[in-house]
Chain A
């Protein structure tokens, strides 16, 4: 029996299909944990079918990486990307035949995953072991990111917040552990509109490069988070990814603040610093471009997409101010302080945008 869901983005749709119930359960767990809005498929029109990417997961089919494939990139959860024959292959166990793998045809907007091996470890159990769930998550998310580029949507590892839905925004760009989620939630508490604490999609448009949410739920470490935000004590969702983080449905805590898009005006590159007071240091375009490219893993996937992807990042850099945030103990002691640091930047950048002057 075939099952499928549809995930809608501005200008594109992703259809995810599976046949085995166990695969469907695992995929739905991932959608729920990350707050990815996966709905039953709607009525098909020529418009929706033209803008759709499809991803099918099979527990019986095998996907093999062809001989001579070029190793293109490495990602979290031990996932490797390979290029061959105009396609992209994602594997979790190198190129070993029979291991879980996905074959993607970016030009066609379609992919097939052979994931049966993930479910063989614990065949009778209702839930996948955490490590296998992490691998399936990586395969699913990377596959969607690679296919969605065809429709002008480019992933970025960043938290995104704004003054209001559709308004000016700030992106916190950095690797895991840089403090993005904590900074993001601090701003949410101060009334800011939020898109995501971890993953956004960049979409170039007439006004600039917009940020759109990819995953809606935040991921925070409960013990550290509750010390700063005691109201979260009863708000946690499940732990899934094999880390100390748990899912947080901010949309239930602050439903009126959920945003669908923002136009970034400020990029912040946070790092946790051993100092009493935090500092914002302006950074130049080249440094901002380097730091942003570093959190756009798909850029190095191949020479066919790199120029387009990089041009989107250049455009983003062009209409934003850029700062490194050395996050000191003052922010850990009083997270509300971040709003005082970041807020004036956004209002200043809005004034520059209104007059047409570069910041």
Chain B
């Protein structure tokens, strides 16, 4: 019998990142430490707001799947890729599950 997998971390916005919503379709992220600036489109905005709520990636994917009528598995792959991009840019950090 294999050892149980540890629970996956939650990804949350990094503390030095400011989120500013321009309208329902666009938002910008400003990393106050690196001074880098990022734009979010409608999909990115949906994902980011779920991450702010400390949602698990599966739940983020479910929201995406519902909003855009895509398969849950495809949505989850997209969310994982997007969060990895955010992680590489220092915009999200891992939070240990409680």
Contacts and interface: CB of A to CB of B under 8 A. Distances in A.
B20 A310 contact: yes
B23 interface: yes
19 contacts: A284-B26, A286-B26, A286-B39, A289-B20, A289-B22, A289-B28, A290-B37, A293-B28, A300-B30, A300-B32, A303-B15, A303-B16, A303-B32, A306-B32, A307-B20, A314-B21, A314-B22, A317-B22, A318-B22
A311 B19 CA distance: 10
A34 B21 CA distance: 36
A138 to B, nearest CB: 19
Nearest to B22: A285
Contact of B20 (A73, A284, A300, A311): A311
Nearest to A288: B22
B72 to A, nearest CB: 29
Interface in A279-338: 284-286, 289-290, 293-294, 299-300, 302-303, 306-307, 310-311, 313-314, 317-318
Interface in B38-69: 39
Contacts of A314: 20-22
Interface residues of A, number: 20
Contacts of B35: 73, 300
A195 B73 CA distance: 56
A309 to B, nearest CB: 9
Nearest to B41: A286
A229 to B, nearest CB: 36
Contacts of A311: 20
Contact of B23 (A73, A285, A290, A294): A285
A293 B26 CA distance: 16
B85 interface: no
Interface of A: 73, 284-286, 289-290, 293-294, 299-300, 302-303, 306-307, 310-311, 313-314, 317-318
A303 B18 contact: yes
A125 B25 CA distance: 59
Contacts of B21: 314
A302 B22 contact: no
B28 A306 contact: no
A290 B28 contact: yes
A286 B22 contact: yes
A289 B20 CA distance: 10
Contacts of A307: 18, 20
A122 B16 CA distance: 43
Contacts of B20: 289, 307, 310-311, 313-314
A310 B18 CA distance: 9
A302 B32 contact: yes
Contacts of B32: 300, 302-303, 306
A306 B15 CA distance: 12
Contacts of A299: 30
Contacts of A318: 22-23
Contacts of B26: 284-286
Per CB-CB distance, the 10 closest pairs between chain A and chain B, nearest first, are: A286-B39, A310-B20, A285-B22, A306-B18, A286-B26, A300-B35, A300-B32, A290-B37, A289-B28, A314-B20
Contacts of B15: 303
Contacts of A286: 22, 26, 28, 39
- Output the residue of B16, B21, B23, B32 with the most chain A CB within 10 A: B32
Interface string B1-27: 000000000000001101011110010
